[in-house]
Amino acid sequence: MLIKRPDDIRSSDITSESIYKERRRFMQGAIGAGLVAGIGLNIPSDATAKEKAIINQDFPKLPKSAFNISDELTTYKDITTYNNFYEFGTDKSDPARYAHTLQTRPWSIRVEGEVENAGNIDIEEVLKLFTLEERIYRLRCVEGWSMVIPWVGFPLQALLKRFKPTSKAKYVMFVTKNDPKQMPGVRNTLLHWPYVEGLRIDEAMNPLTLLAVGLYGNVLPNQNGAPLRLVVPWKYGFKSIKSIVEIRLVEKPPITTWMRAAPSEYGFYSNVNPEVSHPRWSQKRERRIGHFFKQDTLMFNGYGEQVADLYTGMNLTKNF
């Protein structure tokens, strides 16, 4: 995020393999890598045999969500090898390389603060209690790249309601695990640990806001935020906090990790907005990982119909 400028992405992060794939798609015609309509999730036609073997193993028959978009899916390989998870290093390839040291069992999440029933919930209980579904969402990183990810998850509101937020619960704060033994990157003082994110309560309760436990019909790989991570599709990727251990309902907006690191660059809202530039680069266009040409970034990442109402009357240049 902070470290690389979008211009750096072109040379170093778009692999020659991706460019090769893009050319092949181009030759195959505009529909290119069309999706194989199969059992369970759509599998990109260029998925390797190994990828196909992984896909749909853990959650084979997921209900599809009405919120699913029809954009071509990013490949399993790109989604799981091109990551931001600074607890495991700042390079995009670091999380896939180093996150295997994260122990995701036993794992419990503490829900506390302005709730009637503060307490812990074990990840196994989470998997039993909530109805999982497939949610295909765009993810737009503040750096200028994007992906299309078939998540497995359930609405955050279902979990919050179980703990009964009080009338003082105006914001929700999320906290990532912070263990230097399992997460070598937290020795780096570039960011303040643990990683913290926040939402306004109405954003948290919006039906689009997801807690994800998997992707491509399989449990989340550690590098994608196992065992439980947030997904807020109309906000820049960094709001979607990984490997959550604490959810705290609060009265005041929490100071998030990126606000603390660079308050003039990262605000509390961080809504995807092509009209509001990052101080060091434009947000008008984005590069879909696996594609060669850039495309226009959509207001609220294309989710305006569902979420624009949340911001009526607000100045989104000030509240960036």
Ligand X SMILES: Nc1nc2c(c(=O)[nH]1)N[C@H]1C(S)=C(S)[C@@H](COP(=O)(O)O)O[C@H]1N2
Q: How far is the CB of 192 from ligand X (least distance, A)?
A: 12
Contact flag: residue 1 with ligand X (CB under 6 A):
yes
What is the DSSP track for the chain? Answer: --S--HHHHHHHHS-HHHHHHHHHHHHH-TT-S-EE--SSS-EETT--HHHHHHTTSSS-SPPBPTT---SPPPPHHHHHHS---GGG-SSTTHHHHHGGG---SS-EEEEEESBSS-EEEEHHHHHHHS--EEEEEEEE-TTSEEEEEEEEEEEHHHHHHHT-B-TT--EEEEEE---TTT-GGGG-TTSPSSPEEEEEHHHHHSTT-EEEEEETTEEPPGGGTTT-EEE-TTB-GGGS--SEEEEEEESS----HHHHH-TTT--S--B--TTS-BTTB--SEEEETT-SS-EEPPGGGGTHHHHGGGGTT--TTT--
Q: Does 111 bind ligand X (CB under 6 A)?
A: no
Q: CB of 30: closest distance to Mo ion in angstroms?
A: 29
Q: Which of 18, 65, 74, 84 binds ligand X (CB under 6 A)?
A: 84
Please select the residue that binds ligand X; options are 139, 152, 159, 211, rule is CB under 6 A: 139
195 contact, one of ligand X, Mo ion, none, CB 5-8 Å limit per kind: ligand X
195 lies in the site for ligand X, by CB under 6 A: yes
Q: Which of 237, 256, 271, 291 binds ligand X (CB under 6 A)?
A: 237
Cβ 65 to ligand X shortest distance, Å: 18
Smallest distance, Å, CB 258 to Mo ion? Answer: 9
We find the least distance from the C-beta atom of residue 239 to Mo ion, in angstroms, to be: 9
Nearer to Mo ion, 88 or 238 (CB): 238
Q: Count the site residues for ligand X by CB under 6 A.
A: 18
The site partner of 139 among Mo ion, ligand X, none (C-beta below 5 to 8 Å per kind) is ligand X
The footprint of ligand X on residues 257-316 (CB under 6 A) is: none
Q: Which is nearer to ligand X, 165 or 182 (CB)?
A: 182
Residues at the site binding ligand X, with contacts judged by CB under 6 A: 1, 83-87, 139, 141, 176, 195, 224-225, 237-238, 240-243
